[in-house]
């Protein structure tokens, strides 16, 4: 489960990731040369379980971290070092921060509450953005950085009903 880049001009594929584990949900940064994605990096004995599931065409990533990489150098950099599932990353329009969803702060309560967090590319400055007890994920900024859209189960009429929310982003 690696990331690949397709070049429409040359109709060629280029493999971007090579590590054991799940890589997915990649987005380009505002410079179009940097990507952000979620990844699992299982170690033994989880690595054996991962390989067994993969041989059956299945994945079950539960521990996910956020990575960034320049597509020219192909050197991945792990941004988050948090427990739980850290996923659905998206670059801030400045290219210097990442907005993502995480349950790291609720693992002691079952880990079902996901909120949005903002973090600097170097892994510092972690800041919680949403505080609702319902599921919040899939954040995206408008290109000018003035609006934020995300999916949430808040205000749902049925269990697990997901709606989209738009808010003004104020630094």
**CA 162 – CA 12 distance, rounded (Å):** 37
Domain range annotation of the chain = 4-168
pTM: 0.91
**Predicted local confidence at residue 45, as pLDDT:** 85
* 153 pLDDT tier (thresholds 50, 70, 90): very high
Return the exposure string of 87-113: e unless at least 16 CB atoms fall within 10 Å of the residue's CB, then b.
bbbbbbbeeebbbbbbbbbeeeeebeb
**Predicted local confidence at residue 156, as pLDDT:** 82
What percent of the chain has a predicted confidence (pLDDT) above 90? 80
pLDDT tens sequence across 8-67: 999 999 999 999 999 999 999 999 999 999 999 998 888 888 898 889 988 887 799 999
CATH superfamily of 4-168: TolB, C-terminal domain (2.120.10.30)
């Amino acid at each position: 489960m690696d990331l690949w880049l397709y070049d429409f001009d040359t109709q060629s594929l280029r493999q971007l990731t090579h590590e054991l584990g799940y890589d997915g949900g990649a987005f380009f940064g505002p410079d179009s040369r940097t990507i952000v994605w979620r990844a699992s990096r299982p170690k033994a004995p989880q690595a054996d379980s991962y390989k067994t599931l993969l041989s059956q065409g299945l994945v079950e990533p539960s521990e996910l971290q956020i990575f960034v990489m320049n597509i020219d150098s192909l050197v991945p950099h792990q941004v988050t070092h948090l427990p739980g599932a850290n996923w659905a990353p998206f670059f801030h329009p400045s290219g210097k921060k990442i907005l993502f969803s995480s349950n790291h702060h609720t693992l002691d309560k079952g880990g079902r509450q996901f909120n949005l967090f903002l973090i600097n590319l170097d892994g510092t400055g972690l800041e919680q953005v949403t505080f609702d007890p319902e599921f919040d994920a899939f954040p995206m900024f408008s290109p000018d950085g003035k609006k934020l859209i995300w999916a949430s189960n808040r205000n749902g009429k049925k269990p697990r009903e997901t709606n989209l929310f738009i808010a003004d982003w104020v630094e």
